[in-house]
Amino acid sequence: MHKPVSYPRTALDMFLVQGTWTIWYLAIVFIINQASTFVFGNEMEPFYSSGYVSTNVYMLIIGIIAIYFMPYYVGNGITRKNYFIGGVIAGIALSIVIPIAVYIISLAQKLIVKWFAAAEISGRALDNIDIDVDGNIVGELVQAVILTPFVSPDSNLIQSLALFAFHIFVFYMIGWLIGSAFYRLGVIGGLVSIAVSIALLFVKDSMIRLSLGLPLFQNFSALGQIPSSLAIPIAFAVVLVLIVLIRLLTKRAPIKM
Amino acid sequence: MNIKAENLCFSYGSEQVLHHINFEISEPKIYGVLGRNGAGKTSLLSLIGSFREPTSGQLLIDGEPPFENARIMQNVSFLYNKDFSGETDSPSKIIEDIRWYRPNFDLEYGKELIKKFHLEGKKGVNKLSKGQQSAFNVVVGLASRTPITIFDEVYLGMDAPARDLFYKELLKEQERHPRIILLSTHLVSEMEYLFDEVLIIKEGRLLLQESYDELITRGVTVIGSKEAVDAFAAGKEVLNTEQLGDTRSVTLYGKLSEEDEKYAAELGLSIGPVSLHDLFVQLTKEEQTHA
């Protein structure tokens, strides 16, 4: 009797498929980033900053469609469990590889700029943008998605890459949660999962801000009471909650035909 | 392998689709799963394929529930009329991937089938015609060589030559690598020669499980002159009548007694077997409601 296919196989498969999408995605972001300078004459934005912001949305989207690996796998005789574990591992691997790739591309970008000396990379990096803490919930929501807490790679490379990886992994898991909820529970459940996701996102963001000593959004200033030593554990607890919710939704999910 | 259903029930929400189904399948043979639209064929097959879980009762494969059982699931293929609209890879590319998941997958045979069904090329499965997509399903099912292979109306949209090729390949495969093949269909008359055994489902209940040879002795076709046939058929349950000139053919339900046979011989009638199609229509027809 053959040993059944297990999660190393599904993890590798999913990573390779999502990795191929990622190469396309990074190429497109790079082209847009270059075009904005060389074609439209804007000040050059560091690629690391563009990547830091746009990858959140990218990971949210590939997280949402990660649920469609499930019918494929079950149809090929693989358990939901092995699909789930494979998906988590692939997400972690992507979240580690993408920040490193973005950083390497941004170094290459600096070299290109040096050779051509046609443009200068603006010093306006993300760490110089002040968040607007005016208490408008929608505004804060948009800012929380776009302006995830940032540490410049020049000030602390490891911390910057780790934070980058953590943010995009959370977005991937949030996407996967929303995708699973729509698949399993339909529209109402899906909408509830979006609300849950936004709440989890705020908690995660506030905890990271707390641990970095950044100001909190006004609507969530109550979270400032939490001792900063607990901030990182709570941020990781958010990931754990996401993992548990996705597993509960997919564990015994019927496959749509 | 062995499939056993004990008091198997399945519901979609409040609507009960399968009612207390009991059967056992052990031998590597071709089983025809017949039933009218909405009888519960696909629901039953999707439970065997671990796409869903029973609501109550038990479904066991080799003595264990198949749902989320990695060892069993890898040995069960469930092919159905799938929506391929998101599948941009070509048939050849997909079978290259599937071979990693199925322990007995025969890639060479899969490629050979792709040629036979004219599915070569780089065209994505979503761009193929309905019939070609069905043929692709057949390729996957045959080449996977899983000990339990389920074809749930996979022939939809396939033209006659393609269906014929499917039936021939199925029989050849069954000779080379015998396995439990569950074949659900509406095309009873076209496929009946394939079945070793037949399961008929009616309104979510298992009506019968019988060998094909046994089942077709449940009725007879009687052919002869109009008057003689009418005289013989009087008082018997007639399933179907056909007439050509002065010759009449009737299909009767039920076995003939020795006396009947003698009588038929006296009347000069010839007696032949009944078709599964006629029996199926008779057995699954709805009871007439009396006002």
8 Å CB contact of B68 and A4: no
Which pLDDT score, from 0 to 100, does residue B290 have? 47
List CB contacts (< 8 A) between B101 and chain A.
Answer: 5, 9, 73, 76-78
Q: Answer whether B103 sits within 8 Å of A2, measured CB to CB.
A: yes
In a mutagenesis test of the B interface, which of A184, A247, A257 is the best target, namely the one with the most B β-carbons within 10 Å?
A257
Q: Mean pLDDT across the stretch B73-91? A: 94
With beta carbons under 8 A apart, name residues in chain A contacting B80: 257
The per-residue pLDDT for A216 is 80
At B57, give phi and psi (nearest 5°): 75, -170
pLDDT band for B18, please (50, 70, 90 cuts).
very high
3-state secondary structure chain B: CCEEEEEEEEEECCEEEEEEEEEEECCCCEEEEEECCCCCHHHHHHHHCCCCCCCEEEEEECCECCCCCHHHHCCEEEEECCCCCCCCCCHHHHHHHHCCCCCCCCHHHHHHHHHHCCCCCCCCHHHCCHHHHHHHHHHHHHHHCCCEEEEECCCCCCCHHHHHHHHHHHHHHHHHCCCEEEEEECCHHHHHHHCCEEEEEECCEEEEEEEHHHHHHHEEEEEEEHHHHHHHHCCCCEEEEEEECCEEEEEEECCCCHHHHHHHHHHCCEEEECCHHHHHHHHHCCCCCCC
According to the model, what pLDDT value does residue A154 have? 79
Judge: A9–B100 Cβ closer than 8 Å, yes or no: yes
A74 vs B74: CB contact, 8 Å cut-off?
no
Reported confidence tier of residue B254, pLDDT bands at 50, 70, 90 = confident
Which comes out higher in pLDDT, residue B129 or B291? B129
Question: Which band of pLDDT confidence, cut at 50, 70 and 90, is reported for residue A129?
Answer: low
* Chain B nearest C-alpha distance from A153 (Å): 39
| Residue B71 with chain A: CB contacts under 8 Å | 1, 4
- Segment B127-152 mean pLDDT: 96
Note the pTM of the prediction, 2 decimals. Answer: 0.89
CB contact under 8 A, B101 and A77: yes
Residue A46 pLDDT level (bands cut at 50, 70, 90):
confident
Which value does ipTM take for this structure? 0.89
Look at residue A136 in the predicted model and tell me its pLDDT: 67
Condensed to tens digits (0 to 9), the pLDDT of residues B84-110 reads 998 999 999 999 999 999 999 999 999
Q: What is the pLDDT of residue B291?
A: 42
With CB atoms and an 8 Å threshold, state whether A79 touches B69.
Answer: yes
Q: How confident is the model at residue B263 (pLDDT cuts 50, 70, 90)?
A: very high
Over residues B256-267, the mean pLDDT reads 90
**pLDDT-derived band at A170, boundaries 50, 70, 90:** very high
Contact between B28 and B46 under an 8 Å Cβ cutoff? The reply is no
Closest Cα partner for A208 from A241, A176, A237?
A237
Query: Are B70 and A2 an interchain contact pair (Cβ–Cβ within 8 Å)?
Result: no
How open is the CA angle A122-A124-A129, to the nearest 5 degrees? Answer: 165
Residues of A with CB under 8 A from a CB of B: 1-2, 4-6, 9, 13, 68, 73-82, 251-252, 254-255, 257
How far apart are the C-alpha atoms of A62 and A66, rounded to whole Å?
6
In this predicted structure, the answer to whether residue A14 has a pLDDT above a threshold of 50 is yes
Q: What is the pLDDT of residue B289?
A: 47
Q: Are A100 and A161 in contact (CB under 8 A)?
A: yes
A19 vs A137: which has the higher pLDDT: A19
A183 — pLDDT class (breaks 50, 70, 90)? very high
pLDDT at residue A140, as a whole number: 67
Which residues of chain B lie closer than 8 angstroms to A4, CB-CB?
A: 70-71, 73-74
What confidence tens digit (pLDDT) does each residue in B171-217 have?
Answer: 999 999 999 999 998 889 899 999 999 999 999 999 999 999 999 88
Smallest CA–CA separation between B193 and chain A, in Å? 29
Question: What proportion of chain B, given as a percentage, has pLDDT over 90?
Answer: 80
The model's confidence at residue B125, banded by pLDDT at 50, 70 and 90, is very high
Nearest to A4 among B71, B86, B97 (CB): B71
pLDDT band, very low/low/confident/very high, at B140 (cuts 50, 70, 90): very high
Three-state DSSP state, A65? helix
Q: Is the pLDDT of residue B32 over 90?
A: yes
Contacting residues of A for B70, CB less than 8 Å apart: 4-6, 78-79, 81-82
Nearest-CB residue to B80 (from A74, A80, A257): A257
Partner-chain contact B53 A252, CB within 8 Å: yes
Asked if B77's CB is within 8 angstroms of A81's CB, the reply is: no
Q: What is the pLDDT of residues B211-249, one digit of tens each?
A: 999 998 888 999 999 999 999 999 888 888 889 888 999
Is pLDDT above 60 for A119?
Answer: no
Q: Taking CB atoms and an 8 Å cutoff, what residues of chain B touch A81?
A: 68, 70
Q: Per residue in A235-253, pLDDT tens?
A: 999 999 999 999 999 999 9
Distance from CA of B142 to the nearest CA of A (A): 13
Q: What is the mean pLDDT of chain B?
A: 93
- Share the mean pLDDT of chain A: 87
pLDDT at A117 over 60: no
